[in-house]
Structure 1
């Protein structure tokens, strides 16, 4: 039943103007303004709703991530736009903050302005 349904992801934010600047300006997502409730990013197969909430409770784990073709290039672009990549004690991360998982996947984490933990995987 749900195997064929379109996936919709949600991330809660405290300020849609700040979120528009970060998700639209810094991350370069094309956003539809669906105020007063959300900003919406559409892809061919999914939808992301950046939703205004009364209180953001940032999770300590990744809530949203992107699989990218060129992780190093994406990190360079985001770092140039002011994004700081997270470092975690006990994890071997390279100079860019990239951790290589046992499967070989390379992952880097960063926060949005509300502290939501986001990731890039290449």
Structure 2
């Protein structure tokens, strides 16, 4: 299921772009390269990628949303569209984390099939 990996990679690249916007190159590099961890021990690395996406949804997107909405409110600017866009980004990131469950099921089925052929 290549599309599950695509969601995960895009979510991490979106987080990477957020860090690049604020000239935080180390954060950008870490998030840009994080999906490569899926190539190493898929069971553990996929769980870690899922955890990173869920935590990033709260700490990166959630805090950024609150800060940006407060700034808009302070300047009497409209904030509803910003809130809708950021909610969509958060839902996308959580959906990417959820896609990891399908990858884990696929890996487990592949391992079971390999064990059956060995017996």
* TM-score above 0.5: no
TM-score between the two structures when normalised by the length of structure 2? 0.31
Answer 1 or 2: higher relative contact order, Cα 8 Å, separation at least 6: 2
Larger radius of gyration: 2
